Every structure is written in C-alpha cells, then in structure tokens.
C-alpha cells in the first residue's frame, strides 16, 4: 500500500488524492455538502485522520481552536502544510493511524475521509476503540467511506482495500466499546453523498456521524444499541416487507396512502418547501409529497433496514427531491430554521424524552413552519395487564392525546391541535384486517403461514386493546410562531 501511494502522491494533487480524473469537479460540489453535515466546531479541538493534502483541514482550522492533521504520506502532509500552515492552529503529523498513540479525552471531534477501506476489520476495530478514548464524553466522530466498490476511475492494484457494506460499518462501530466498557459509539446520522448520486449515479459513497455516549448493558433488551434492537426485532427486513404487504406499496404506517393523502393535504404544501419526515419508514409518504406538491423531502429513520429499502425504491423512483438517511432524531443536528414542515407518522412512541425532541423540531422549523404527527397514544391509567405487557415488550413510551398536546405547547408550539383519532384507527385496522384475509393466498406466496398468522393476530390484538380504552391513536397539528421574540 505504501508503494501504491508513493506512486500516486508524487504531485500531491486532488486527482491523486481522490484517485479520480474528475476530482476537481467532484470536490467543488462534494466539499460544501460534507461541510454542511458537520456539527458546530467553534472553539473545539479537532483530530483529522487521513487528512491528505488538506481538502478539509483549512475549513476545520477556520472554526476549531486547534486541529491535528494526520496522514501517513509525507508528500500529502507537506502539501497540506504549504496550503494551510499559515493558520497557525494546525499540528501536522505524519503517522500511520494503526500505531498512532494520543492522549485520552483530548479531542471534541474526529474527522476522517476515505480511510477505513484501507484497514482490516481487526485494525479498524482497534482504531475505533482508540478513538473512543481520544474523544471527550459526548464528542462526535464524522467519517465517509466507499461502500461496495471504489469511488474513482483509478484502478487500485493493491489487495488490502476493503469495501464494506454500510451495515458492516454500523456493526463494527457500535459493537466496539471503550477499554473500560463504559462508552461506545451510537449513530447520529448516515446517508449517501448526494454529489456522487448526482454526478456518478453512485449511492455507495456514504458518510456517518457518530457520538460517544455511555453504554448501558441492559438498556435495549439485550442489544448494544437501540438501532440494533429495532433492526433485529420489529423492523427486520422480513418484518418490514410483510407490514408493507398490508399497508400498501411504500408504506409501513397506519392507513398507508389513504391517510398520507389526508394528512399531507392539511399542510398546504407548496413547491420549493423543505419537509423532514422523522421515522420515514420505506419512503412511500416522501415520494408522494414530492411528486404531488413539488416539495423537497428528507426522510430520516433510525432503522437501517427501513432506509436500505427506501434507497432501493429511490433508485426506481428517480426523484431528486427526495433524500434518505439513517438518523437518530434525538441526536441529529440541523441549523435553525432548516425546514418548512416536520412530519412524523407513528414513530415518536419509541422516544423517551418527547419534550426535548419537540424542542428540536421547534428549532428546525422556520418561523411559521408546521408540524404534523400521528402517533400511538394511551388511555388513562391504570392500564389492563395485557396492555402493560404489550408496551413493555415493545419498549414504547406513551401518553394520552391530551398529555401529548401539552408537551408540544411546553416546547413552544402554538395553534396546537391534539386530536384523538382512535375511531379512525379502528376503522382502518378493520379494513386492513379484511384485506389481509382476502389476499391470504397472495400473501403466502411471499411469506409464510406463520407470518400471516402474526399479522392477523396482531391486528386483532390492536383492536382488542382499543376496545379496552388502553390503546389510542392521536393526530397532532402545531405551528412555530411567525413572529418570535428573542
């Protein structure tokens, strides 16, 4: 590998760095896109691994108090120092990251671009553990990688390059814990680099934002992270597809296209507006809003299985107005006033601190922006034992529709409507139950008898819980004030 990079770093150009003859065009569009995804770096201490010729070093140093730029090729370090050394707050370090030794708790943010594909799984796991030590508690780590295959047009003639899938990166990053076992990485965001989709029709350039957080041994029913719990339990790929068979193509939430049409019509969407769909599922609602109203939609879901399917559908839809990302809404960072609409369907039932999340939604919205949520709710306590067990097994955190509305008001929203739509929920459930029974043979061609019985019994149990008054369904509409007094 050293011989390869000695050959491809002689002139220390961006074409050599990116191993692509069209690197200048790509870099011009890609760089601002990557920068837009970074957290606020003001006054932070930053470690840049695989800094290369410094495509990002100068920007990092412009904001951070101090940057340590590391690369194992001296030619690249020399070019980086030539271009960015005048800033005075950059420490340039020629080193191999696999043997790099730095003090613990010395950085607030770690940035890496195209590095991990040159490391074996063992080397990467060891580096992840070291990075957990180098980062201060709550610190962020951003990286991007080529997944599945190379990004450029230069043939790589060395063997060690490892093209992992996004799921393999997710597993590696979240399964490693600090030496003490007290901390680990959890995902904040993962998405394809849009520049490569636009210019090269390549969805396999993927970037991640991770956060160092305390690790709880029993916080997710035996799974290391909540994302792993979702992807391995309720939202396995098979589970998602059997839900879609009931809700309709592209949908995994109550009422499918029917309720999507009804609720999106309430938002008075107009072309050019930006919508974020929190808990987007497999994207049916996002494609509908983009095609019907001409709005830009960012679909976010913590389940990587959901987003993987949504991305597959996006290839067929070919609608540039829709993007998807794996994202944790409780940790995701957007600039204030980024969106005209926050939209969420049957998702926030998973979130513990709903008021904190609603405050995030409030900040993401532009003045006058709108919020629409449907969500599972509950009746007044005490609940029946069967409902208590259901909520515990799913890990839901539920409120009555009235309590839910109060949380939105406390977060600053106005014109709050907290509507109990349980009657509509029951009507939709009955329709879906009848339809499932009518298409039993078709269902069994794709799924098993066990899957069919799971759906039938699940829908009957929902109806029973509603009849007890325990399970409710709420529709919530709210707005951010147009005139905000600071």
Sequence-distant (6+) residues with CB within 8 A of 98 are 119, 123, 126, 127
Taking each helix axis as running N to C, give the angle between helix 304-317 and helix 237-247, from 0 to 180 degrees, rounded to the nearest 10.
Answer: 60
Q: Is 206:166 a contact under the CB 8 Å cutoff?
A: yes
Among the listed residues 323, 303, 302, the one whose alpha carbon sits nearest the alpha carbon of residue 313: 323
**CB neighbour list of residue 189: distance below 8 Å, 6 or more residues apart:** 37, 208, 209, 325, 326, 327, 328, 332
Q: Which residues contact 460 (CB under 8 A, 6 or more apart)?
A: 433
Architecture of the 228-479 domain: 3-Layer(aba) Sandwich (3.40)
The one-digit pLDDT tens for each residue of the chain (486 residues) are 666 666 666 666 666 556 666 777 788 888 999 999 999 999 999 999 999 889 999 999 999 999 999 998 898 899 999 999 999 999 999 999 999 999 999 999 999 998 998 889 999 999 999 999 999 999 999 999 988 755 554 544 444 567 888 888 988 898 888 887 789 999 999 999 998 888 888 888 999 999 999 886 655 666 777 787 788 877 899 999 999 999 999 999 999 999 999 999 999 999 999 999 999 999 999 999 999 999 999 999 999 999 999 999 998 898 999 999 999 999 999 999 999 999 999 999 999 999 999 999 999 999 999 999 999 999 999 999 999 999 998 889 999 999 999 999 999 999 999 999 999 999 999 999 999 999 999 999 999 999 999 999 999 999 999 999 999 999 999 999 997 654
The pLDDT, as a whole number, for residue 453 is: 96
Q: Are 255 and 281 in contact (CB under 8 A)?
A: no
Strand stretches in 9-116, DSSP E: 45-49, 66-71, 90-94, 107-113
Q: Return d(Cα 76, Cα 93) in angstroms, integer.
A: 11
Please give the Cα distance from 348 to 333 (Å, whole number).
17
Q: Which residue has the tokens 């993987």?
A: 308
357 vs 365: CA distance, rounded Å: 13
Same fold, 2-215 and 228-479: yes
Q: How far apart are CA 390 and CA 334, in angstroms?
A: 34
DSSP summary character for residue 177: B
What residue segments make up the domains of the chain, in order of their start?
2-215, 228-479
Strands (E), 164-286: 183-192, 205-214, 274-278
Q: What is the DSSP string of 301-335?
A: ES-HHHHHHHHHHHHHH--TTEEEEEE-TTT----
Distance CA 478, CA 473 (A): 17
Look at residue 159 in the predicted model and tell me its pLDDT: 46
The confidence score (pLDDT) of residue 6 equals 62
Q: What rounded mean pLDDT belongs to the chain?
A: 91
CATH number for 2-215 (one of 3.40.50.150, 3.10.105.10, 3.40.50.620, 1.10.10.10): it is: 3.40.50.150
State the pLDDT at residue 224. Answer: 72
Copy the structure tokens of residue 215: 């690790």
Nearest to 227, CA basis, from 180, 166, 182 = 166
CB 106 within 8 A of CB 132: no
DSSP structure class, residue 375 = E
For residue 69, the SS3 value is strand
Q: Can you tell me which residue has the tokens 């990053």?
A: 173
The pair phi, psi for residue 419, each rounded to 5°, is -110, 130
């Amino acid at each position: 590998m050293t011989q390869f990079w000695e050959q491809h770093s002689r002139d220390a150009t961006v074409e050599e760095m990116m191993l692509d003859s069209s690197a200048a065009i790509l870099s011009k569009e890609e760089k601002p896109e990557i920068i837009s995804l970074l957290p606020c770096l003001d006054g932070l201490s930053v470690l840049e691994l695989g800094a290369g010729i410094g495509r990002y070093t100068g920007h990092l140093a412009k904001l951070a108090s101090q940057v340590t730029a590391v690369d194992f090729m001296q030619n690249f370090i020399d070019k980086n120092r030539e271009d960015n050394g005048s800033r005075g707050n950059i420490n340039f370090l020629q080193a191999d990251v696999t043997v790099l030794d730095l003090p613990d708790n010395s950085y607030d943010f770690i940035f890496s671009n195209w590095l991990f594909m040159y490391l074996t799984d063992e080397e990467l796991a060891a580096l992840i553990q070291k990075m957990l030590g180098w980062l201060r508690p709550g610190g962020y780590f951003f990286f991007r990688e080529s997944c599945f295959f190379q990004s450029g047009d230069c043939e790589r003639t060395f063997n060690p390059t490892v093209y992992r899938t996004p799921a393999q990166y997710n597993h590696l990053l979240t399964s490693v814990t600090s030496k003490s076992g007290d901390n680990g990485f959890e995902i904040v965001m993962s998405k394809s680099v849009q520049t490569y989709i636009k210019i090269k029709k390549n969805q396999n350039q993927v970037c991640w934002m991770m956060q160092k957080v305390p690790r709880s041994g029993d916080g997710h029913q035996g799974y290391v992270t909540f994302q792993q719990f979702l992807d391995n339990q309720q939202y396995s790929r098979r589970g998602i597809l059997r839900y879609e068979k009931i809700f309709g193509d592209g949908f995994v939430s109550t009422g499918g296209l029917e309720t999507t049409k009804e609720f999106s019509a309430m938002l008075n969407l107009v072309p050019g507006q930006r919508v974020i769909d929190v808990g987007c599922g497999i994207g049916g609602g996002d494609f509908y809003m983009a095609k019907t109203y001409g709005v830009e939609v960012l679909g976010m879901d913590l389940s990587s299985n959901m987003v993987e399917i949504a991305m597959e559908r996006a290839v067929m839809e070919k609608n540039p107005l829709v993007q998807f990302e794996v994202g944790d809404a409780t940790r995701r960072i957007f600039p204030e006033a980024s969106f005209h609409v926050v939209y969420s369907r049957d998702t926030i039932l998973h979130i513990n601190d709903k008021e904190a999340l609603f405050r995030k939604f409030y900040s993401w919205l532009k003045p006058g922006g709108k919020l629409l949520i449907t969500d599972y709710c509950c009746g007044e306590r005490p609940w029946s034992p069967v409902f208590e067990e259901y909520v515990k097994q799913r890990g839901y955190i539920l409120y009555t529709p009235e309590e839910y509305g109060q949380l939105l008001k406390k977060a600053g929203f106005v014109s709050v409507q907290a509507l109990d739509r349980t009657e509509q929920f029951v009507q939709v459930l009955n329709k879906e139950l009848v339809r499932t029974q009518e298409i039993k043979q078709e269902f069994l061609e794709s799924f098993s008898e066990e899957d069919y019985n799971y759906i039938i019994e699940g829908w009957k149990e929902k109806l029973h819980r509603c009849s007890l008054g325990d399970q409710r369904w709420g529709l919530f509409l709210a707005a951010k004030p147009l005139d905000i007094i600071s």
